[in-house]
Amino acid sequence: MGHFFAYLYRLRLIDRWSLMRNTTRESAAEHSFQVAVLTHALCAIARDVFGKAVDAERAVVLALFHDATEVITGDVPTPVKHHNPAISSAMREVEALAAQRLLGMVPRRLRETYNPLIAPPPAGGADADLLQWVKAADKLDAYLKCVTEMAMGNREFAVAQRQLEAPLRRSPLPEVRYFLEHFAPSFERTLDELTEIPQGGPDGGTTGNAPPG
């Protein structure tokens, strides 16, 4: 009996930001979906705006599975995971063991497909270049979580927002800076404010619908 997918579905039970007071709960499953959406956005910008050759579809698949091992390890907060080199090294070992356990649930005939999605990627592997967009999207999603919490008046995320925003704005990927300029400000708006501004992004488009009267 294969338990692999039943385990993956339990990502919705893993809470993120466990050390912080949240106005809105966020699960690892929600985070994985959002990182996949942002990965696709960054790859689309890289391809369509900056003329890069990017396999966006493969990058999205990598994003969907990037935190799969958290069904076993749980979400370890960043301040804990990166507190010192010893803890960081230990966490990498724990994550590798969790990947092995999770992959042990995959039927043998499917392991070739899922091994590169779950196991820690080898340096210089086939997906190494694509992972730069996944990692950027991961950081960007954390930043957008801070933005939305701050917009709700929750200053618990003030320091985290500053710490995440600075390196994102210095990102070597121009598509990250493009997203911050053109799309990130909308995350500070209410639904009523979003319906008052033109839709379609920086190139224009149709206007939003008026709120029901």
Residue-level pLDDT at 74? 87
DSSP 8-state assignment for residue 207: B
Confidence category of residue 82, pLDDT binned at 50, 70, 90: low
In a domain, 185, yes or no: yes
Domain carrying residue 92? 4-193
Q: Which two tokens stand for residue 42?
A: 């960054």
For the entire predicted model, the pTM comes to 0.86
Residue-level pLDDT at 208? 45
Residue the block writes with tokens 């893993």: 14
Q: What is the mean pLDDT of residues 97-112?
A: 93
In a domain, 132, yes or no: yes
CA–CA distance, 56 with 188 (Å, rounded to integer): 27
In a domain, 109, yes or no: yes
* Chain segment 19-54, per-residue pLDDT in tens: 899 999 999 999 999 999 999 999 999 999 999 999
Q: Which two tokens stand for residue 113?
A: 């497909």
User: Residue 49 maps to which CATH number?
Assistant: 1.10.3210.10
Is residue 78 within 8 Å of 62, Cβ to Cβ? no
Neighbours of 48 (CB within 10 A): 12
Is residue 202's pLDDT more than 90? no
CA–CA distance, 137 with 135 (Å, rounded to integer): 5
In a domain, 210, yes or no: no
Instruction: Please list, in sequence order, all residues whose beta carbon lies within 8 angstroms of the beta carbon of residue 49, skipping any fewer than 6 positions away.
Output: 175, 178
Tally of structural domains, the chain = 1
